[in-house]
Structure 1
Amino acid sequence: MNEVYINSAACISFQDTLNENFFYHLKPENSSQVLKAIEPNYKEFIPPAASRRMSKTVKMSSVASQYALKEAGIENPDAIIVGTGMGCSQDSEKFLKNVLDHNEEFLTPTFFIQSTHNTVAGQIALGLQCHAYNFTYVNTSSSLEFSMLDAKLQISDGEAENVLVGSTDEQTERVMELYKLNKTIKKEENLPVDYLNSETEGVIWGEGASFFVLGKEKTENSYAQLKDIRIISRLELTETQQFIEDFLAKNDLTNNDIDAVILGFSGDSRSDIYYKSASQLFTNSALLYYKHLSGEFNTASGFSIFIACQILKNQEIPEVMLINDVEKAEIKNILLYNHLGGNDHSLVLLGKV
């Protein structure tokens, strides 16, 4: 079984993560209901004629994937795997609006064709003229983790050497309205939110795209070793600690071997209790959180993996992410724990290269 390395990482998010110095200029946000991603100048990466036909998530993914491939020095990957929770929501909304406005008649197929979840992976492949394995995972908050697991298995089994793996989700006006109505998004009167000690339901919603090149060979630019991933759709609160301990034991580790734990505290009082339970296991580890920097969304874990890669490479933790004051002389192992609303729990274990 080959080891698997994360050889490049690129992210478009609410933070200016395409900027080389973003690591030292992270700005938390706790007073807005919705956080918009900072978008690049797409003209530099995508021909304007093509850009006009692309939804936001396709454009973000196209740019982030270009950054990731360029950093890894890969022109054509052996596979393209993308995880998304909501897919191309903007084009889905446009298509449904057309259906209503035109009484289900005289519809142009463009919005329908571009509304499918696998549009992102397909557009990236078209841009690269890549005819390799192309797959999209739609598993709510564990979409990226399933994508990375697929890539890891392919590399471990010798079926691929370099795989482009990404995650992406966009906001749309109508979906955000619905999320406010069903209390997924926090009410304005409950803002600003204390992410770690919230007593109200709902989250601040974000968006973004994160792309990585996973490879079997370690390079000079490698960020981390992708050691293991575990996913479970349902978990009782009382099972949380056992879920984590079993995962660590499988990798011949104990909780004391974990130098930093990145938890997905979202400010939702109903579901953050899982993270509070998990944190009790790691009294000797640096505890971190990140959704005050990215917002909550289906593939927010892409932002956390991107940040974890920077932490392992720089051997430095941004102060804005710290929950406790445990300091480590060296950061060798990082554990990431995420879920969305108490469902689809995932663990990702990254190691220093």
Structure 2
Amino acid sequence: MSSVYINSASCISVQDTLNENILQNLSPESSVQMLKAIEPNYKEFIPPAMIRRMSKTVKMSSVASHYALQEAGITQPDAIIVGTGMGCSQDSEKFLKNVIDNNEEFLTPTFFIQSTHNTVSGQIALALQCHAYNFTYVNTSSSLEFSLLDAQLQIKDGEAENILVGSTDEQTGRTMELYCLHNIIKKEKDLPADYLHSTTDGVIWGEGASFFVVGKNKTETSYAKLTDIRIINTLELNETQDFIQDFLKKNNLSDRDIDAVILGFSGAATSDVYYTEAMNIFPASALLYYKHLSGEFNTASGFSTFLACHILKEQQIPEVMMVNGNTKSEVKNILLYNHLAGHDHSLVLLERV
């Protein structure tokens, strides 16, 4: 499969990722159950009358997509593709609360209209007056990867040259309460979380929005070449190494060709064993992790893709991300491996341009 180039990268996360010197200012957090995104001043980007009608995920995505398009020098993308796990859950909760409070009568449709998962891509298209291909993928932790795969296929087939691809998820009060009751989120007694050697289940939950412009041609702003993507829904632990090695073999690479591997250690003991298994393949690579910087959420891989782009462009690996002591004078190939609670495993291979 032919490659496409990631020509811009923008991210709103629990880190201050909209400012400069991103890799130097990363700060881990392991002592709270939920991490909130650092939000920009939305009034600089969105009319005040519209802000109050937008959920958090729509606002984050609007700003992140604005920065991504601006950096790539694109005013009208040939397509808009967004991946999300939970969509606009804030408006979903408001609509369901209205249903209960009003005994299913006299409901205003606004919250329902804005609660659909494709609200984000639709709002971005409306703001840009973009009538091109517009699609939303809802595939839990591989939502971004499916979006990138779609973009890659369209560019390969000559249907588009520059595509805006993004991922976004927000926290909402009731959903977080249910996650706590279901032990998806770590109990307070298990904090601070040990991301790499955890003996307890549950994660610290985060949120954020990451947007990229992927294009047919390399430009002055290019971060990386998107070489290949592989996604699988379920995987047995003893199949992990074959899953990764088959992917490398398909791309004519060995483990020694991979300079850095970014793993999604979340602090959940039961599912992190997949990452421990994967580490054994790469004795000479720099092994990195990132969810102590972003929290776990459906599209956390957007944050890791954003960091990988900066590592390739700036040719430096932040010490706060290192699992082992391996350092590289040059970072050419980065492999990203992610899953959520042991399901929806994805591999993304990025190459320096």
TM-score bucket of the superposed structures, by smaller chain: over 0.9
Secondary structure of 2:269's aligned partner: coil
- The alignment covers a number of residue pairs equal to 353
How far does the alpha carbon of each residue in 1:215-264 deviate from its partner, in whole angstroms, 9 at most, with x for none?
Answer: 01100110000000000000000000000000000000011100000000
CA-CA distance at 1:22 after TM superposition? 2.3
* Aligned equivalents of 2:2, 2:51: Cα separation in 1: 39
- Gaps in structure 1 of 5+ consecutive residues: none
Aligned to 2:319: 319
* Aligned equivalents of 1:135, 1:9: Cα separation in 2: 19
Secondary structure of 1:18's aligned partner: coil
Aligned to 1:351: 351
| AA of the residue aligned to 2:290 | Y
| AA of the residue aligned to 2:346 | S
- Contact 1:195/1:266, CA 8 A, preserved across alignment: yes
Secondary structure of 1:303's aligned partner: helix
Aligned to 2:6: 6
Is 1:21 equivalent to 2:30 in the alignment? Answer: no
CA-CA distance at 1:306 after TM superposition? 0.1
| AA of the residue aligned to 1:186 | K
- Gaps in structure 2 of 5+ consecutive residues: none
* Aligned equivalents of 1:21, 1:318: Cα separation in 2: 11
- Contact 1:227/1:351, CA 8 A, preserved across alignment: yes
CA-CA distance at 1:329 after TM superposition? 1.6
* Aligned equivalents of 2:26, 2:309: Cα separation in 1: 15
- Contact 1:2/1:157, CA 8 A, preserved across alignment: no
CA-CA distance at 1:2 after TM superposition? 4.8
CA-CA distance at 1:32 after TM superposition? 0.5
Secondary structure of 1:62's aligned partner: helix
Aligned to 1:97: 97
* Aligned equivalents of 1:3, 1:182: Cα separation in 2: 41
How far does the alpha carbon of each residue in 1:129-184 deviate from its partner, in whole angstroms, 9 at most, with x for none?
Answer: 00000000000000000000000000111110000000000000000000000000
- Contact 1:141/1:344, CA 8 A, preserved across alignment: yes
- Contact 2:3/2:228, CA 8 A, preserved across alignment: no
* Aligned equivalents of 1:46, 1:2: Cα separation in 2: 37
| AA of the residue aligned to 1:184 | I
* Aligned equivalents of 2:191, 2:164: Cα separation in 1: 38
* Aligned equivalents of 1:307, 1:106: Cα separation in 2: 47
Aligned to 1:71: 71
Secondary structure of 1:287's aligned partner: strand
Aligned to 1:340: 340
| AA of the residue aligned to 2:119 | T
Aligned to 1:291: 291
Aligned to 1:302: 302
Secondary structure of 1:91's aligned partner: helix
- Contact 1:2/1:216, CA 8 A, preserved across alignment: no
CA-CA distance at 1:283 after TM superposition? 0.3
Aligned to 1:215: 215
Aligned to 1:331: 331
* Aligned equivalents of 1:70, 1:151: Cα separation in 2: 19
Aligned to 2:235: 235
Is 1:47 equivalent to 2:47 in the alignment? Answer: yes
- Contact 2:7/2:219, CA 8 A, preserved across alignment: yes
* Aligned equivalents of 1:327, 1:12: Cα separation in 2: 28
| AA of the residue aligned to 2:107 | L
Q: What pairs up with 1:118-267 in 2 under 5 angstroms?
A: 118-267=118-267
- Contact 1:57/1:168, CA 8 A, preserved across alignment: yes
CA-CA distance at 1:278 after TM superposition? 0.1
| AA of the residue aligned to 1:67 | Y
* Aligned equivalents of 1:213, 1:70: Cα separation in 2: 10
Secondary structure of 1:339's aligned partner: strand
Secondary structure of 1:348's aligned partner: strand
- Contact 2:2/2:227, CA 8 A, preserved across alignment: no
* Aligned equivalents of 1:148, 1:104: Cα separation in 2: 40
* Aligned equivalents of 2:233, 2:41: Cα separation in 1: 38
Aligned to 2:57: 57
| AA of the residue aligned to 1:296 | E
* Aligned equivalents of 2:24, 2:274: Cα separation in 1: 29
* Aligned equivalents of 2:162, 2:175: Cα separation in 1: 35
* Aligned equivalents of 2:150, 2:136: Cα separation in 1: 10
CA RMSD of aligned residues (A): 0.6
* Aligned equivalents of 1:54, 1:331: Cα separation in 2: 40
| AA of the residue aligned to 1:341 | A
Secondary structure of 1:59's aligned partner: helix
| AA of the residue aligned to 1:343 | H
